[in-house]
Amino acid sequence: MKHTVVLLVLVALGALGCDEADEAATPVGTVWLDDVEQPLPQWLSDTGLFADVGTFTPAEGVLTYYPPYPLWSSGADKARLLALPPGAMITLGEDGGFVFPTGTVLVKTFTLEGIEGRRGEDVAVETRLLIKRAAGWAFAVYHWNRENTEAQLIAGDRWPERVLQLEDATGTGRTDTYTVPGELDCRACHETHRQAEPVIGVDPLNFDPDLAPAFEDAPAPVDLPAATPEEAAAMAYIVGNCVHCHHGREKGDNAAFSLMPAVLRANTVNQPTASSASGDGVRVVPGDPEGSAIYEAVVRARDPGYPGDFKPMPPVGIDRVDPDAAAVLSAWILSLEGE
């Protein structure tokens, strides 16, 4: 009898155009979150992460957090959740990063303003999951329906990048493209992070004290070693947007070029660029943003028709220049005049 029901569900999903359906064999009375080794359910509401998925209300015991230095993703806003197995805690590892217990689930929902929604307010487009299973970390994405009442698993295993056309809900007729990364993109960013674990935004350098209940011994927030307010703002931007690749450890392309706070000045101010694939230049020329390779890579390299050799930075995950980044980097470089 049970089999008939599962088959009917799969046929219905097939009709909706969902090819790689993972069947959810969750025992009655439990939710997926009770045993994350199970295949992911088709619907976000069946994961047990939310008490009410339609209002984004997390389930009891699931923590909400906000990294002090977030990644900018073309203006999308994000809501983040952390779920640990009962009684389990996050600890500090030997490499200086956090170690997460098996069964940890991290959740990030991307919301956009005025796009593809019924409510004329921020609406969810996708929810990303990072899951620590016995065999290692798994990645997954759920895509929200237009009404924002439910989200469906894109695929439980490997899936390619998806480009969505989103309509403006406020009646301007505008459409925006929105890219949901493929699994390889998730891994490209998350597995080049400087620490053993692929979690980026729950990090001693970027610690939200709201997560203290997840630790036996919660770390104190780290002060950035900045000499001026302009430098503090630049470091904050760089910690959120650059150091998951530029961290100075042997992991990932061009990681040797570290932008970590402690070496930011030493590695940039009056320092020549070192990548064979990018342009020649000086990373930071005090007092001259336009003449600095960092500014060129972050701001000018995204101009259509940009004539130079620098790759736009960050190289993935955004589709336009972060206006705050341009202002913050420019103010910092100007403030260094005379060094």
Give the Cα separation of 184 and 207 in Å (integer). 27
End-to-end alpha carbon distance in the chain:
77
Read off the tokens for 271: 């320092």
Would you say how long the chain is, in residues? Answer: 339
With binding defined as CB under 6 A, does residue 247 bind ligand HEC?
no
Report which of 144, 151, 182 is spatially closest to residue 166, judged by C-alpha positions. 144
192: left (phi > 0), else alpha (psi -120 to 50), else beta? alpha
Under the criterion CB under 6 A, does residue 129 sit at the interface with ligand HEC?
A: yes
Is the CB of 153 or the CB of 169 nearer to ligand HEC? Answer: 153
Which single residue brings its beta carbon nearest to ligand HEC? 317
Closest CA to 105 of 78, 123, 85, 119: 85
Residues 29-58 that bind ligand HEC (CB under 6 A): none
Check residue 152 for interaction with ligand HEC (CB under 6 A): no
Both structure tokens of 161: 């990048």
How many other C-beta atoms are found inside a 10 Å radius of the C-beta of residue 335? 18
CB of 201 to ligand HEC, least distance (A): 3
Choice from 288, 302, 317, 331 touching ligand HEC (CB under 6 A): 317
The letter for the amino acid at 247 is: H
Cα angle: 318, vertex 323, 329; to 5 degrees: 100
Q: How many residues line the site for ligand HEC (CB under 6 A)?
A: 49
- Report, in Å, the least distance between residue 181 CB and ligand HEC: 4
Residues 90-119 touching ligand HEC, rule: CB under 6 A, are 106-108
Residue 336 binds ligand HEC, judged by CB under 6 A? no
Please report whether residue 277 would count as binding ligand HEC according to CB under 6 A: yes
Binding site for ligand HEC (CB under 6 A): 67, 70-71, 78, 80, 106-108, 128-130, 139-141, 181, 185-186, 189-190, 199-202, 238, 241-242, 244-246, 253-254, 257, 273-275, 277-278, 283, 293-294, 297-298, 310-311, 313-317
